[in-house]
Amino acid sequence: MNGAPAAFNAGEPSTVGGPGGAVTLVEGSTFCLSDRVGDVEPGTAHGLFYRDARVVSRWELRVDGQRPEPLSVLSPEAFTARFVLRRPPRAGAADSTLLVVRERLVADGLRETVTLENLGREATAVALELHADADFVDLFAVKEGRAGHGRAEVLVTDNELLLNDRSDRARGLAVSSSELPVVLPGSLSWRVVVPAGGRWQTEILAQPTTANQRVHLPLRPGEHYESSEPGRKIEAWRDTATKLTTGDPLLTAVLQRTESDLGALQIHDGEREGRTFVAAGAPWFMTLFGRDSLLTAWMALPLDVGLALGTMQQLAEMQGQRVDPLTEEEPGRIMHEIRRGPSNSMVLGGEVYYGTVDATPLFVMLLAEARRWGAPSDAVHALLPAADAALDWMAHFGDRDGDGFIEYQRATDRGLINQGWKDSFDGINDCGGHLAEAPIALCEVQGYRYAALQARAQLADEFGEGQLASSLRDQASALRTKFTEAFWLPEHGWYAVALDRNKRRVDALTSNVGHCLWSGIVPDEHAAQLIQRMATPEMDSGFGLRTLASSMGAFNPMSYHNGSVWPHDTAIVVAGLLRYRHIPGAVELATRLADGLLDAAAAFGGRLPELFCGFPRSRFPAPVPYPTSCSPQAWASAAPLLLVRSFLGLDPDVPQRSLTVLPHLPSRWGRVELTDMRLGGTLLDLAVDGDRVVASTLPDDWRLITH
C-alpha cells in the first residue's frame, strides 16, 4: 500500500483465491467470494459483502462431516452460480452415489438452495451441516489482510442463527432455512434420508440487518434466477441495450459477457428512480468511482447512454464544494470514491475521498460525448455548471503552480501518493526505475484536459455560447503547443510519462502515451514515432500493451502497474491508434493489440480480468493471471465495446443528426451488427461487412458519413 488510509483505493489487494481461484458473484454493490466448492473459508479474503462490510466470514458445507468434492461450477449470470459437487466415496467404494448441488444467488444478501440427489439403488442417510459466522469487518480490512478475529455475538432460536456485530448492535445477519434445521451456535444441521432415485432440498437465506431492520431480499421462495429481481433487472437492461453480434463467435461471446457483467455491476439509486451508475469492479471496488465509472460509461455508450448520464448526475451531486485537506476535497473536483463500510468514520472526514487528478477532466469529456450519443439536451444543460466548475478546478486547484499543467500532490500523509490511473506507490518512474517526486504532472492528464476544453467548446456551440467556445478552443490550442514543448523526448521518440516536482521529464516509455493519442493532443509527426515505439516487442506482449516497456528499469511483468497488461488501457490505446488511422502502422498495430486481447479473453473464459501479467506470448502461450486481479471489473468488461466502436469508426452526433461510420474491421470479426441502437429518439440497426455500411431505419433528415 502507498500510505493511504484503509478506505482509500490504492495498489494491490490481498490474495483472494486458493487453489483453482475464487468464484466471484456480484449484484449491484453486494458481492460474494468463495472457493470452487462454494465455501467461504475463515481466515481468507472470502465472504459475503454488503455495504462495504463482510457480513458472512464463514459459510462451509459439510456432508457426513466431510468437505464435498467439486465437479464443476456454472455461472450463467454474474449474480448466480451452481456448484456441482458429490459426497466423497465411502471407504471401499469406487464411486459416490450422492450428488450435491449448491445454487447460489446474490442480491442484498444471499440465497442458497442445497439439493441432495441419490443416484444409488438404495436409500442413503446424510448428515448435512452448514457452518456460518460473520465478523462484520470493513471491506478494506479484508482487502489488506488485517481482518483480525470475528466480532459476532451469536444468538440461537428454534429455526434461525442470529449473528450481531459486537461493536454495532444495529448491524447483523440472520441465517434461516426452509427445512427446519437443528440450530447451534455457529451451525445449522439436518439429518435426512434420501430415497433411491430421490431428492431432498432446502433453501437457506443469509439476510443482513442494518439499523435493527432486516434487509429485504428481493427473492421469492423457489424462484429461478431468471425470474428473480436481479434476473429481471438484467433482462430489462438487455431489452434497452443495443444488441451486438459479429461473425467471430469468440468476440460475440465476449460481448455477451460484457453485457451481463455491466448489468450486474450497475447500482440503482433507490432515492432517484431510474438513475443508474456502474461500480468499478468486484471484489474490492463495488462502489462508485470517479475515474473508473466515467471511463466505463464512456466505453458503454454504444450499449446505453443512460449509464453515462446517471454516472455524471451522481458525481455532480458529490462534486467538491470546499477545501478539506483530510478528504482532499476542493471546489469543482470530481471525487475518487465513496465508501459506506463500518469503519467509514475512520476515513478522514467522511465516506467520500477526492484524491484523483483525472476524474475531473474525464467528467467534462463524457458530458459532451454523451450528448453526441443522444443524452437529452435538458439533462446535459443542467450539468453545465458542474462542467464549468470542473474546468475552473483544472485551471486553479489542478494547476497548483500556474505553469499551465495539471499536477497532483496529496494534501496529507494519508492520501494517495499517485492520483492518476496508475495509483500504486511505485507507478510513476523514469527509465532507470527511480520514482518521481510530487507534484507530478502526468502526460495523459494534460491530454484529458485538452479534450475537456474541446468538449466544453462543443457544448458551448450547441447552447449558444459562441464566445466561450472560441475562448476554450484557443486554450486547448495553447495547451497542445505547450504540452508538445514540455513533454516530448526527441532523443527517445516518445512523451515523458510525467513532469516531476522540479519539472524534470520522467522519461519512461509507458502505455500512458497511448492515452495522449486517444485525447487528440498529439501532432501527426509525433504520432508516427509513438506508433513505432508501441509496436515493438518491448511494449506489445502479444496479449495486449504493457503498462511499462520491458526495457525500462522498473519493469516487472508481475507488477501491478510496471509491466502488466490492463485490458481497458490497451483498449484506450487502440482507440487512440484508430483516431490516427491515417498514420502508417496505426491500423496494423491496433488490429494486433485487439487480436491479442481477444485471445486473452478466450483464455479467461470469455471475461477479461482487471489485469494480467505482461510476460511475452512467445514465452507463455496463454496469458499468466495476476493473482489479485478483480473480475468482473467494469472497465475491463467494457473494453471490448470500445474496441468495436473504434474499429467501426462509429461517431454519432445527435444534435447535428449525423452518423459517421469509417470501418477498419479486423478480418477475423466478419460482419458486425448493432441492432436497436438508440441515438436520442432514433432507433436504428447498423451492419458493417468489410467496408460496406448499412444503416437501416435511419431517418431521412440524418446524414450517414462513410468516407
Considering only 200-204, 229-233, 467-471, 567-571, which range has the smallest mean pLDDT? 229-233
How far is the C-alpha of 435 from the C-alpha of 452, rounded, in Å? 29
Considering only 256-265, 283-292, 457-466, which range has the smallest mean pLDDT?
283-292
pLDDT tens string 638-647: 999 999 999 9
pLDDT over 70 (residue 198): yes
Instruction: Write the secondary structure of 577-631 as one string of H (helix), E (strand) and C (coil).
Output: HHHCCCCCCHHHHHHHHHHHHHHHHHHCCCCCCCCECCCCCCCCCCCCECCCCCC
Phi and psi angles of residue 262, each rounded to the nearest 5 degrees, phi first: -65, -35
447-473 average pLDDT score: 98
- Least confident span in 113-122, 343-352, 432-441: 343-352
Q: Give the separation between CA 605 and CA 599, rounded to whole angstroms.
A: 10
Please name the residues in contact with 700: beta carbons below 8 A apart, sequence gap of 6 or more: none
Strand, coil or helix: 707:
coil
Whether the link from the prior residue into 640 is cis, omega within 30° of 0, is no
In which element (H, E) is residue 26 found?
strand 23-27
pLDDT band at 4 (very low <50, low <70, confident <90, very high): very low
- Neighbour tally for 627: CB within 10 Å: 14
The answer to whether the beta carbons of residues 287 and 280 sit under 8 Å apart is: yes
Cα 176 to Cα 168: distance, rounded to the nearest angstrom: 22
Please give the average per-residue pLDDT across 210-225, as a whole number. Answer: 79
Average pLDDT over residues 264-273: 70
> Hey, what amino acid is at 124?
T
Range of weakest confidence among 132-146, 344-358, 646-660? 344-358
**Other beta carbons less than 10 A from residue 400's beta carbon:** 14
* Percent with pLDDT over 90 in the chain: 74
First to last CA, the chain: 49
Q: Cα 259 to the chain's mean position, in Å?
A: 13
Q: Is the pLDDT of residue 47 over 60?
A: yes
Alpha-carbon distance 235 to 240, whole Å?
9
- Give me the pLDDT at residue 5, please: 37
What would you report as the CA-atom Rg of the chain, rounded to the nearest whole angstrom?
A: 26
CA-based nearest residue to 149, from 228, 308, 42, 39: 42
3 state DSSP class of 113: strand
Residue 376: CB atoms within 10 A of its CB come to 16
pLDDT of residue 348: 39
Grid cell for residue 632:
468482473
Distance CA 423, CA 442 (A): 12
Check whether 340 has a pLDDT greater than 80. Answer: no
Rounded to an integer, the average pLDDT of 13-22 is: 45
Tens digits of residue pLDDT in 111-139: 999 999 999 999 999 999 999 999 988 87
Per-residue pLDDT band for 235 (boundaries 50, 70, 90) equals confident
Q: Under DSSP, is residue 276 helix (H, G, I), strand (E, B) or coil? A: strand
Query: What does the DSSP assignment read for 127-173?
Result: EEEEEEE----BHHHHHTT---S--EEEEE-SSEEEEEETTEEEEEE
Residue-wise pLDDT tens digits, 662-689: 999 999 999 999 999 999 989 999 999 9
Domains of the chain by start residue, with CATH: 23-232 (2.70.98.40), 241-689 (1.50.10.10)
Residue-wise pLDDT for 276-305, tens only, equals: 887 776 666 767 889 999 999 999 999 999
Q: How far apart are CA 542 and CA 540, in angstroms?
A: 6
CA–CA separation, 458 vs 484, rounded Å?
Answer: 23
Q: What does each C-alpha distance from 638 to 26, 138, 280, 633 come to in angstroms?
A: 16, 28, 11, 9
Give residue 146's pLDDT band: very low, low, confident or very high (50, 70, 90): low
Q: Which residues pair with 131 in a beta bridge?
A: 60, 187
Q: What is the pLDDT of residue 92?
A: 66
**Three cell numbers at 655?**
444534435
Mean pLDDT value across the chain: 90
Would you say 225 and 231 are in contact if contact means Cβ atoms under 8 Å apart? yes
> 194 in helix, strand or coil?
strand
- CA dist list (Å): 248 to 75, 242, 494, 598: 23, 18, 35, 10
More confident residue, 423 or 260: 423
169 or 341, higher pLDDT: 169
Please check whether residue 478 is in contact with residue 486, taking contact to mean a CB–CB distance below 8 angstroms: no
Name the amino acid, one letter, at 695.
A
| Contact yes or no for 30/266 (Cβ under 8 A) | no
Q: What is the pLDDT of residue 273?
A: 60
Statement: residue 434 has pLDDT above 90: yes
- How far is the C-alpha of 472 from the C-alpha of 175, rounded, in Å? 59
105 is written with which cell numbers? Answer: 444467488
Q: What is the pLDDT of residues 612-640, one digit of tens each?
A: 999 999 999 999 999 878 778 889 999 99
Q: What is the pLDDT of residue 232?
A: 82
pLDDT of residue 284: 64
391, 453 in Cβ contact below 8 A? yes
pLDDT of residue 631: 78
Q: How far is residue 322's CA from residue 336's CA, in Å, rounded to a whole number?
A: 15
The angle, 0 to 180 degrees and rounded to 10, between the axes of the packed helices 359-372 and 290-299 is: 20
Higher pLDDT, 26 or 446: 446
Question: What span, in angstroms and rounded, lies between the C-alpha atoms of 224 and 246?
Answer: 30
Cβ distance 366 to 305 under 8 Å? no
Tens digits of residue pLDDT in 503-538: 999 999 999 999 999 999 999 999 999 999 999 999
Distances (CA, A) of 558 to 151, 546, 547, 612: 36, 11, 11, 8
DSSP category for residue 394: I
Amino acid 1: pLDDT: 33
**pLDDT score for 148:** 60
Per-residue model confidence (pLDDT) at position 572: 98
Q: Is the pLDDT confidence value at 247 over 60?
A: yes
The answer to whether 37 touches 83, Cβ cutoff 8 Å, is yes
Distances in whole angstroms, Cα of residue 389 to Cα of each of 34, 321, 332, 376, 632: 44, 9, 5, 21, 33
- What's the pLDDT band for 8 if we cut at 50, 70, 90? very low
pTM of structure: 0.87
Looking at the chain, the whole-number percentage of residues with pLDDT higher than 70 is 92
Asked whether the predicted pLDDT for residue 707 surpasses 80, the reply is: yes
Of residues 287 and 204, more confidence is placed in 204
In the structure, what pLDDT confidence band is assigned to residue 275 with cuts at 50, 70 and 90?
A: confident
The β-bridge partners of 192 are: 126
Cα separation, 61 vs 86, in Å, equals 12
What distance in Å separates the CA atoms of residue 696 and residue 489, rounded to the nearest whole number? 48
Q: Measuring CA to CA, which residue among 176, 175, 150, 154 is closest to residue 164?
A: 154
